[in-house]
Chains A and B, each alone.
Chain A
Amino acid sequence: MSTHAVYVMSAYLVALVILGGLLISSLAARQRVRRELSARGLERKR
């Protein structure tokens, strides 16, 4: 990918880290809150 590969790959890496981080933190927060609700006997109704 020529001499500019470092800029292209860095851009995709930045996007992966930020958007992947958002997804992982969102899933982790959901699990944490659900565990706390469950510990208090407030599980959601399905």
Chain B
Amino acid sequence: MADLHFLANPARFRRFSQRVVPSLSVATALMLAVGLYLALLQSPPDYQQGDTVRIMFVHVPSAWLAMAGYALLAGLGASLLIWRHPLAALMARAAAPVGAGFCAVCLLTGSLWGRPMWGAYWVWDARLTSMLLLFFLYLGHIALSRAYDEPDRGDRAAAILALIGVINLPIIKFSVDWWNTLHQPASVARLGGPSIHPSILVPLLWMAATLFLLFVLLVLLRTDTEIDRRRLENAEQQA
């Protein structure tokens, strides 16, 4: 924790970001090329779902990252409200649209997977509905952080929403256990280990790692921009 703490300083974060972004971009591009090969060409069709199982390789990692992104917003919200870390508000502003993007990918690809498997693009199922609520929480965070003339007030209001909304994360995770749903139960993060065959599990984990790198890259780029934007706003106020 002490090692990560030094990044709370915007100037140090910027130096770290400048060092990491170029190599992270190359790694993400290379991993994406391999991941798409594994997902679309190398992995076999599922014995029940056929080729539609390939949708899982973008759908499931996007769901994980949408949830992880919201947990990050909550952590940043706590950092802002409790310790007033100068970088927390800026990183939350940067991360919210990224998390919302991954949440949108999860919802839309899930809908495209649902049509051939369930016969419907959408059902008001507990998992789908709680995921849709997560998307609205992201939109609320983005709107609240930009709703005030004083950025600090918007950041604090958004931080409170992030902390309240975090209750939705266990609801999403356990919705398939608590209610009867069309959505399949957990098959990777479960007691007793994954129930997926390695020929499908490996591409899934590869794509998850790739999209995680993309998530980190986007958050670093956008945080860097938010730091510059805040400098610009401060300069305008002083002028």
A1-46 with Cβ < 8 A to chain B: 1-2, 4-5, 7-8, 10-12, 14-15, 18-19, 21-23, 26-27, 29-30, 33-34, 36-37, 40, 42, 44, 46
0/1 interface trace, chain B 99-117, chain A, CB 8 Å (1 if under): 0011011001100110110
Interface majority SS (helix, strand, loop, mixed), chain B: helix
Interface majority SS (helix, strand, loop, mixed), chain A: helix
Q: Is B97 part of the binding interface, using a Cβ–Cβ cutoff of 8 Å?
A: yes
Q: Is B91 part of the binding interface, using a Cβ–Cβ cutoff of 8 Å?
A: no
Q: Point out the residues of chain B lying under 8 angstroms from A10, CB to CB.
A: 112
Task: Say yes or no: A33 contacts B98, CB within 8 Å.
Answer: no
Q: Point out the residues of chain B lying under 8 angstroms from A44, CB to CB.
A: 14, 228
Q: Point out the residues of chain B lying under 8 angstroms from A42, CB to CB.
A: 231-232, 235
A40 to B228, CA, bound (A): 12
Q: Point out the residues of chain A lying under 8 angstroms from B40, CB to CB.
A: 8, 12
The residue in A19, A30, A42 that gathers the most chain B C-beta atoms within 10 A of its C-beta is A19
For the complex formed, measure the closest distance between the CB of A27 and the CB atoms of chain B, giving whole angstroms. Answer: 7
Which of A4, A7, A19 lies in contact with B105, CB distance below 8 A? Answer: A19
Q: Which A positions have Cβ atoms within 8 angstroms of B?
A: 1-2, 4-5, 7-8, 10-12, 14-15, 18-19, 21-23, 26-27, 29-30, 33-34, 36-37, 40, 42, 44, 46
Q: List 7 A-B contacts (CB under 8 A).
A: A1-B54, A8-B52, A12-B40, A15-B105, A19-B214, A26-B221, A26-B222
